[in-house]
Amino acid sequence: MWDWFYKLASPPHFYRIASALEPWLLWTAIVLLGAGAYGGLVLAPPDYLQGEGFRIIYVHVPSAFLSMFCYVLMAVASAIGLIWRMKLAYSVAAATAPVGAAFTFLALVTGAIWGQPMWGSWWEWDPRLTSELILLFLFLGYIFLRQALQETRQADRASGILAVVGVVNVPIIHYSVEWWTSIHQGPSLAKLDTPSISGDMLWPLLVMIAGYQLLFLAILATGVRTQLLEREKNSRWVNDLLTTGVIGEAAR
Amino acid sequence: MGGYARYVWSAFGLSFFVLAAILWLTRRNFAQTQKTLMRRMRSMEGTQK
């Protein structure tokens, strides 16, 4: 198992696997997103209280889930990079940040679009909303810090420390609706054994989350490949790849 | 969808637009990096000759 892990951590090996998987991830994500959107917009019945407006959860919940998932992945990858000084781990963290920022932005904006008809307000300084906004600032801080530092190693270390320290915000976002008085509704998906959402409404949501997750992985596969090309531009395997279109046997 | 239609379609429309944009930007960035490295490699080969 460790052999497999060490092999995966090798940039040319990861590059090859990511190149092969990317189209499969992308097309599966597109199919799932189409099915989930159709299920959420057409097949799911309207909510007894929120009416048709509840359908916004089919884009809001996957974005919010992915925003936290991306941050945890970025922090774990950064921690691995800081401890074992792995280029691949730093590449994963750097490629995750812009996608995570996009998901966080979407979670905030779709939440605001839902809030206007339901709460009568686009924004409230509620613990869940405020901690999600802090998450967006953490992603942006990570991206700007990397851009501000010219030297790659320095950028990796500084942004890695920021990512690891900022992960404390993720449990705050998740438990904010339980720890403090909040107008945001409580968790529905975290308790799948006793679901507070009907099966007719639940399946399109799970399909949408799976679609978002696979789309993220497809984007990540391309983002990490870009990072690896830039970081390894002087290495033999990148040279082989650019001249022949394939990675040399020795680098695998 | 009655009075909620504009909210629901705005949320779906914006989400799919942003997802498509981030996908396109990532792929464009990858293609540009490949092109830049190819150009760099060719110029280095030219210098060596």
- CA closest to A232 among chain B residues: B37
Question: In chain B, which residues have their Cβ closer than 8 Å to the Cβ of A225?
Answer: 30
A33, A99, A222 member nearest B27 (Cβ): A222
Q: Do B11 and A56 touch (CB under 8 A)?
A: yes
pLDDT digits (tens, 9 = 90+) for A102-112: 999 999 999 99
Question: In chain B, which residues have their Cβ closer than 8 Å to the Cβ of A26?
Answer: 23
Q: Do B15 and A229 touch (CB under 8 A)?
A: no
Instruction: Write out chain A's pLDDT in tens, 252 residues.
Output: 677 777 778 899 999 999 999 999 999 999 999 999 999 999 988 888 787 889 999 999 999 999 999 999 999 999 999 999 888 999 999 999 999 999 999 999 999 999 998 888 888 888 889 999 999 999 999 999 999 998 999 999 999 999 999 999 899 888 887 777 777 777 666 655 666 788 888 999 999 999 999 999 999 999 999 999 999 988 888 888 888 877 765 555
* Global pTM exceeds 0.90: yes
- CA closest to A95 among chain B residues: B26
Q: Do B18 and A110 touch (CB under 8 A)?
A: no
A142 contacts A74 by C-beta, under 8 angstroms? yes
pLDDT digits (tens, 9 = 90+) for A171-182: 988 888 777 777
Question: In chain B, which residues have their Cβ closer than 8 Å to the Cβ of A242?
Answer: 34, 37-38, 41
Question: In chain B, which residues have their Cβ closer than 8 Å to the Cβ of A243?
Answer: 41
Cβ-Cβ contacts under 8 Å between A and B: the total is 88
CA atoms of A189 and A61, how far apart (whole Å): 9
Q: If DSSP states are collapsed to H, E and C, what string results for chain A?
A: CHHHHHHHCCHHHHHHHHHHHHHHHHHHHHHHHHHHHHHHHHHCCCECCCEHHHHHHHHHHHHHHHHHHHHHHHHHHHHHHHHHCCHHHHHHHHHHHHHHHHHHHHHHHHHHHHHHHHHCCCCCCCHHHHHHHHHHHHHHHHHHHHHHCCCHHHHHHHHHHHHHHHCCHHHHHHHHHHHCCCCCCCCCCCCCCCCCCCHHHHHHHHHHHHHHHHHHHHHHHHHHHHHHHHHCCCCHHHHHHHHHCCCCHHHC
Q: For residues A33-71, b (16+ Cβ closer than 10 Å) or e, as one string?
A: bebbbebbbeebeeeeebebbbbbbbbbbbbbbbbbbbb
A13 contacts A252 by C-beta, under 8 angstroms? yes
Q: Do A41 and B12 touch (CB under 8 A)?
A: yes
Q: Which of residues 3-22 of B touch A (CB under 8 A)?
A: 3-5, 7-8, 10-12, 14-16, 18-19, 21-22
ipTM, two decimals, is 0.90
Question: In chain B, which residues have their Cβ closer than 8 Å to the Cβ of A52?
Answer: 1-2, 4-5, 8
